Amino acid sequence: MRRWLVLTWAALGMVMAASAAYQAGFARVDTTPPVGIPIPGYFHKRVADGLLDPICAECVAVSDGEHTALIYSVDNLHLSNPFLKTAFSAITEATGIPRDLIYIHSTHTHTGPTVWASPAFTEEEQRLVRDYAAQLVKQLAEAGRAAVADLAPTKIAVAKTVCTGISAIRRYRMKDGSVRTNPGVTNPNVEGPLGTPDETLQVIRFKRTGAPDIAIVNFGTHPDTVGGTKYSADWPGVVRKTFEAGVGDGVKCLFLNAAQGDVNHIIRNPPPGRAALARADIHFHMGRAVAGVAMGVWDICEDIPDGPVRGAVTSVRMPSNMPTADEIKWVELFDAGKKDEIPLGSMEIMTLTSPGSRVRTLRNGPDHFDILVSSIAIGDAIAFAGLPCEPFVDIGRDIKAQSPFRTTIISCLTNGAEGYIPSTKAHQEGGYEGLSSRFAAPTGDLLVAAQVEQLKKLNGKDESK
């Protein structure tokens, strides 16, 4: 009898949560650091000497009246795992929101500041980085608090469409059978691309009462169009600015970069107008195109029913990509000044021989790593699937295809920074990303399975029970 009562009250609680109306809030902080901080993203050191456009962090708070989730987007290449651990604690202390309902995404701009100190930095650079990281933690905590304070009644609506001609597969099979990343837009030795981009664009609209609406825009490709030594949010920053200006009415926009590990802006044999664009202008073109497509569906988003807000974070063990005997030999040849004897392209050689390369760091193990997968669910209609890495587009496709949610938002570099994780097929094909990944080939399939299992548990459709 007692057990029946417990189950009845639990069921009643679920019904009450499911009927709760949503609330949503928004906050944005300018996180632009001082000049002098190194900019990560390439194989050589760059130090910021100016600013092209502001570096920001946005936070959307979503509540069902009982539970509140915080969804962040931060202009950064990636936030290191130690940084995130500190940030989670600070955000929980500031807001009372538990760890499994905090979702922090890095847009992966290649012109954002470093948040981890490196031995390669000068003492002054290390001091600047440490000070900036500490300040950013405080700003993220404050953004969470401000987003919660901004909560207003809302209806949530969704739309899905495609944005074509912006993202391109960057891995190619060459005529000699090798695999190369970015072999050149007119390279005659290219046989063809290894895959197709995922051109899906998704929009979530928070239609608030008594407050401006909020948009979350989701699309995936590398933000590496600006280059140089000046801070910039790259094309995701243009998406936000263009969308907010175009829709008007005070609307706020947060951008989440989807699966982007094997896609970027470099299109082979582009149309004349695109080919004529200077590198400095490509991010404007891309951001405006993505924002324009998102605006095209803004007024026809479909409402979803109310339901509970919930989250999950799961630790998953993945096999490490231990170096082969050949790879060890190639690094030894490089160190001996015999680079010309290595049968690889220049990008692959840099990947294997850099000071922090997989070959150097994994020569003596370990044989596995534990990584985190994260999800936030809104009712039974929307799920955010956060991958702590740079996943290939097929990983995102597979998760969306198997997800029990009507709308599944994939975001890269979320709640972790584990580098490239190619799909299993792509890993076996070879190339720069697989050479640099510290995870072995099966990890792509294992990551999909772990994320889908988590989504099914949140949706109440876990088949393992």
Characterise 249 by phi-psi region: left (phi > 0), alpha (psi -120 to 50), beta (else): left
pLDDT tens for 123-134 read 999 999 999 999
Question: Residue 4: is its pLDDT beyond 80?
Answer: no
Are residues 175 and 189 in contact, defined by beta-carbon separation less than 8 angstroms? yes
Give just the sign of the alpha carbon dihedral 32, 33, 35, 36. Answer: negative
* pTM for the structure as a whole: 0.92
Cα separation of 387 and 258, whole Å?
9
Distances (CA, A) of 419 to 34, 236, 387, 398, 435: 26, 20, 11, 19, 11
**In contact, 447 and 397? CB cutoff 8 Å:** no
Output b/e per residue, 334-372; b: 16+ Cβ within 10 A: beeeeeeebebbebbbbbbbbeebbbeebeeeeeebebb
User: Which range has the worst mean pLDDT, 39-43, 51-55, 154-158, 358-362?
Assistant: 39-43
Both tokens assigned to 296 = 């095209």
Mean pLDDT of 90-94: 98
**What share of the chain in percent tops pLDDT 90?**
84
Amino acid in the structure at residue 341: E
At 106, the pLDDT band (50, 70, 90 cuts) reads very high
CA distance 453 to 451: 5
Q: How large is the average pLDDT for residues 174-182?
A: 92
Average pLDDT, the chain: 92
Pairing of strands 22-30, 230-231: unpaired
Under 8 Å between Cβ of 108 and 59:
no
Cis bond before residue 366 (omega within 30° of 0):
yes
From residue 199, alpha-carbon distances to 182, 234, 389 in Å are 19, 19, 20
pLDDT at residue number 278: 85
Q: Please name which of 165, 107, 168 lies closest in space to residue 290, comparing C-alpha atoms.
A: 165
Whole-angstrom CA distances from 431 to 181, 287, 344, 428, 438 are 7, 28, 10, 9, 14
